Structure 1
Amino acid sequence: MTDRPGLLISAPSSGTGKTTVMLGLLRALREDGLAVQPFKSGPDYIDPAFHLAAAGRASFNLDTWAMDGGLLSAIAAQAEGADICVAEGSMGLYDGVATRGQSGFGSSAETAQRMGWPVVLVLDVGGQAQSAAATALGFARYAPDLPFAGVILNRVASARHERLTRLGMERAGLTVLGALPRRGDLTLPERHLGLIQAVEHPDLEAAIAGYATFLRDHVDLEALRSAALGQSRPNTGALPTPPAQRIALARDAAFSFTYPHLLKGWRDAGAEILPFSPLADEAPAPDADLVWLPGGYPELHAGTLAAAEQFRAGLCKHAATRPIHGECGGYMALGAALIDKEGVRHQMAGLLGLVTSYEKRKFHLGYRRAVLDAPMPGFRPGSALRGHEFHYSTILDQPDAPLAQVADADGNPVPETGSRRGHVSGTFFHLITPDAA
C-alpha cells in the first residue's frame, strides 16, 4: 500500500461543496509543481473523470465494502511517483451500509483510516456561525482513531460571519484551513445520476482553473500540504484480470461508466482495449474476442441508438459466435426496447428481451453481491461478484433466463438478476471485483 502522504476531502453530507474543493485543490497543487494522485472513496462512476481533468493523472476508486485488502493495496499502489494523494469522499464522512463487506462498511472514514490520510471536512456554514463548531467537533470525535486535519468553511456570507464561525472552531480546538465565500457560480451541472459527465461540460478547463484560483485565494494550501500523512504498507494484491484478450469497449457520452481500476488491470495484463462509439454508429472491432457495453446514459440518446444500424448489425454478428456483456445502460441497450421519459419507445439491439422504461422512474441504488447461475465473460458459474447499482429505470419485461442470484449489501434478494441468452449477458450492477469471501 502507498506510503505517499495524502488527505481525504469529505463533508457531513452530499451537496456541501466537496467536489468543488477537490477539483480546485487538485489543480492548485498541480500548478505548484506537484504530481498529485487523485482517488475516489466509494463506487462513484463520474467523479474520477473530473479528477483526471484536474490532476492530469487517472483517478481510482477505493471501496472498503466491495474490495478486500489486497485489491485496496494494489489500487493505492497506483500513486507510485506522486508527491501527494488527494481522495474525495462519498456522501457524508461516516455514511456506509449496515453489513460489513470485504474490508468494512464502505464509508469514507474507513478509507481515510486504511490509508492513514487525515480528513479535511468541508462544512457548509450557511445559516449558522459558532454552532457550526458543534457539528465539526462531532465529526472529529465520532471515531477517535480517525486522523483529522481540520475544516474548510464553505458558503461564508460575510467577514463577520467568518469571524464568528472561526471563533466557535477555536473554542472547539479545531483547525480552520480555509473559508470560502458564498458564490452561486461554483456549482457543477447535474442530472439524475449526479454530475454531468466530464466530457459533456461546456468549458471544464476554465471551470477547474477558476476553482483553483478560488481555493488559492481562500484556503491555506501550505497548511493542507503540511497536514498530509500516510502509512506504509506492502502491496499484497493485484488489479483484476481481463475477461478476454481483445475487448471492444463502447466509449462515448452514452457509455462511459467503467471503473478505472478494471481498465488499468486489463491493460496491465496485456489485454487490448478497442474503443468504439455506438453514438457514431460504429460497429465493434470484427476481430474482438469480447464486446463490453458499460453503463452511462442511453436514455438520453435512445433515438440515436435506435437509428445506429451499423452498431446493431455489428453486435448481432459478434453475438452469433462470441460473448457480449452489458452493464446497466449497456444492458438496456442490448434489450428489445427502451422507453424514454416522454413515453416514446425506441428499438434497441434485441439481443436480450429486456424492456426498460424511464416514463415512470424508480430509484435503484446500492451495493450488490451476485452469485452467477451461468458464465459471464471472465467468470464461471458459481462465481461471486461484488458491484454497485444506480439507475432510475423500471423493468417492464425481462423474459430471458436470469444471469445470477443478486442481493443487496445486507443479503436481501433484489429482483434485478440480470439476463442471459446465448452468448449475450447483462446486469444492472456495475462490476467492481470478484468476492474474496
Structure 2
Amino acid sequence: MSARGLLIAAPRSGSGKTTITLGLQRALRRRGLSVRGLKCGPDYIDPAFHAAATGAPSANLDSQSMSDALLGGIATSAAAEADIIVAEGSMGLFDGVPGPEGHTGASADIAALLGWPVVLVIDVSGQAQSAGAVALGCRHYDPRITIAGVILNKVASERHRRLAAAGMERIGLPVLGALPREASLILPERHLGLVQAGETADLHNRLDALADAVAAAVDLDAVIATATATHLPAPAAMTIALPAPGRRVAIARDAAFSFVYPHVEAGWRALGTALVPFSPLADEPPPSDCDACWLPGGYPELHAGRLAAAQRFLTSLRAFATTRPVHGECGGYMVLGRTLVDADGTAHAMAGLLSVETSFARRRMNLGYRRAVLEADGPLGPAGGTLNGHEFHYASVISPGEDPPFAMVSDPHGSAPAPAGSRRGLISGSFFHAIARRDGA
C-alpha cells in the first residue's frame, strides 16, 4: 500500500513554500508519522533540507527531464517507506517550459501524474480578499489537478487574516492555516539559493522553530486529511537515470562540492557502484582504489584559495586522470580548469586538466533546462548520447581554452545547439548538471 501524498505549491516564487514545507514535515514527524519529502524541479539544495526535517532521504521529481517511468520509480521508493509524502513545488505551480503536456517541468505536472492534491501557499502581504481571486485562478487554470486548500502566509494582523480568509470563503476554498509575518522564519540564503543544509548554523533548532510556528498556525489534522493515495506509474523494471561512471567512484564531498542529485546516486548504487567520498578542502586525494572520479557542483568559488593550496589533492587528481576518467559538473568543471577568479578578482590556479578559465568576479546568471548531445565517449555515455539536465551558475568563462567541447547543448526554447564544456583524454566537464538520459528518462 503506497503512502498518501500532497504537494505544497504557490502561485509564485518567494511565497514561503519552502519554510512552510519544512515546518510541516518536521511537525508531522514529531507526531510520530514517517514522513518523506520530495522536491519538484531541478533544485539540488532543498532535498537536503527535507532530509534534515524528516530524518529520511529526499529526491527530485522533474517532469521536464524525467520519464514517467523514472518519476514513478522515485515516487515508489519514497512511498514504500512513509506514512505520508509532503512534496514541495518549485517556482509558481504552473511555471514550466515548452514541452509535451505533463513534461514541462511545472509542479502541476507532478501533482497530476501522482494524483496529489495541492495545498496552495499564498503570500497575502499587500492584499487581502484579492488573494481569493489568485487562488480561484489557480483552482481553474489546470483541470488535471485539485487545489485542496490554502495556507495564508505573511499575515500582518488578525484583521488582515479575517479579510483574506473571507476571500477564500467566497470561492469555497478552505483555509488550512495562517502564518504571521515573522523574519525569524526565514532561512539564510546565498547566490544559488538557500545556504546548504550542512552549513546552516543550528539547523535542527531552526527546523524545530519552523515546526512550532506551523503547528501553532496550521490545522495539521486538516492538512493530513487532504493527502490522497499516491498514483504510481510503476516502471516495468528499475529505471536508472544515468550510467555509472565506474564500479568504484571517488566522489568529492565537502562544502565546496555538494550538488549531486539523490536519484543519480541511488541509481548508481542500484547498479552496484560504490561511492567513495573524499574532501578536496581537507587536501585529500581521490582514493587510489577507485576507477573513476566525480567532482560535483557546489561552491568552489567561495573556497578557491584553499583549493589552490591543496597541493596533495591537485597533484593526486592529475595523476589519477592519467589512467582513469575524471568528470566535473559546474563547480567541479571550474576546478578542473586552469584558473578560477574569485569574487575579489584574485586568480587561483586550479588542476589545469582542462584549459578553461572561469571567473566569479564577472557574475552573470545562467539558468535553465538543457539538452546535451555528447561529443565523445565518456563516463556519461557514448558519443551521440543525449542527456537531459539543468544549468544554474553565476560564473563566467573568460577563456574557453583549446580543448574540444564536451557536448552540443540546446534549450527547450528553440536555441541552436552550441558547444559546451571541455574534454581532454579521460577528463571532461561542463556547467551542465545531468539529470537523466533522454532514452531512459
Instruction: Give TM class, smaller chain.
Output: over 0.9
Provide, for residues 11-64 of structure 1, a one-character-per-residue CA deviation record: whole Å limited to 9, x for no partner.
111111111101101111111111111100000010000000000111010011
Larger displacement relative to structure 2 (398-407 or 219-228): 398-407
Provide, for residues 162-182 of structure 1, a one-character-per-residue CA deviation record: whole Å limited to 9, x for no partner.
111111110111110000011
Q: Contact between 1:5 and 1:83, CA under 8 Å: does it hold in 2?
A: yes
Aligned-pair distance for 1:230? 2.8
4+ aligned runs moved over 6 Å, structure 1: none
Aligned-pair distance for 1:73? 0.9
Larger displacement relative to structure 2 (48-57 or 372-381): 372-381
When the two chains are superposed, the root-mean-square deviation of aligned CA atoms in Å is: 1.3
Larger displacement relative to structure 2 (402-411 or 274-283): 402-411
1:86 aligns with 2:89: no
Question: Aligned runs of 1:225-374 on 2, under 5 Å?
Answer: 225-236=224-235, 237-240=238-241, 241-374=243-376
1:138 aligns with 2:134: no
Aligned-pair distance for 1:416? 5.7
Match of 2:439 in 1: 436
Larger displacement relative to structure 2 (229-238 or 370-379): 229-238
Structure 2 gap ranges (5+): none
Q: Contact between 1:244 and 1:378, CA under 8 Å: does it hold in 2?
A: no
Change in 2 beyond 3 A, CA 1:243/1:317: same
SS at structure 1 position matched to 2:183: coil
* CA–CA distance in structure 1, aligned partners of residues 382 and 94 of structure 2: 35
Match of 1:40 in 2: 39
Match of 1:408 in 2: 411
SS at structure 2 position matched to 1:25: helix
Match of 1:377 in 2: 379
Match of 2:107 in 1: 108
Q: Contact between 1:9 and 1:18, CA under 8 Å: does it hold in 2?
A: yes
Q: Contact between 2:357 and 2:398, CA under 8 Å: does it hold in 1?
A: yes
TM-score, length basis structure 2: 0.96
Aligned-pair distance for 1:410? 2.6
AA in 1 matched with 2:357: V
Change in 2 beyond 3 A, CA 1:232/1:360: closer
AA in 2 matched with 1:396: I
Aligned-pair distance for 1:413? 3.3
AA in 2 matched with 1:279: L
Aligned-pair distance for 1:234? 4.7
* CA–CA distance in structure 2, aligned partners of residues 41 and 92 of structure 1: 11
Match of 2:54 in 1: 55
Percent sequence identity is: 55
Q: Contact between 2:406 and 2:419, CA under 8 Å: does it hold in 1?
A: no
AA in 1 matched with 2:184: D
Q: Contact between 2:75 and 2:232, CA under 8 Å: does it hold in 1?
A: no
SS at structure 2 position matched to 1:256: coil
Aligned-pair distance for 1:238? 1.8
1:214 aligns with 2:213: yes
* CA–CA distance in structure 1, aligned partners of residues 288 and 244 of structure 2: 19
Aligned-pair distance for 1:138? 0.6
* CA–CA distance in structure 2, aligned partners of residues 60 and 180 of structure 1: 27
* CA–CA distance in structure 2, aligned partners of residues 293 and 243 of structure 1: 12
Q: Contact between 2:6 and 2:86, CA under 8 Å: does it hold in 1?
A: yes
The number of residues matched between the two structures is 435
Q: Contact between 2:244 and 2:379, CA under 8 Å: does it hold in 1?
A: no
Question: Aligned runs of 1:414-425 on 2, under 5 Å?
Answer: 415=418, 417-425=420-428
* CA–CA distance in structure 1, aligned partners of residues 87 and 439 of structure 2: 25
SS at structure 2 position matched to 1:211: helix
Provide, for residues 225-252 of structure 1, a one-character-per-residue CA deviation record: whole Å limited to 9, x for no partner.
0000134335214233422100000000
Aligned-pair distance for 1:378? 3.9
Aligned-pair distance for 1:415? 4.5
SS at structure 2 position matched to 1:70: helix
Aligned-pair distance for 1:126? 0.8
Aligned-pair distance for 1:123? 0.4
Q: Contact between 1:249 and 1:275, CA under 8 Å: does it hold in 2?
A: yes
Provide, for residues 126-181 of structure 1, a one-character-per-residue CA deviation record: whole Å limited to 9, x for no partner.
11111110111111111122121110000111111111111111011111000001
SS at structure 2 position matched to 1:178: strand
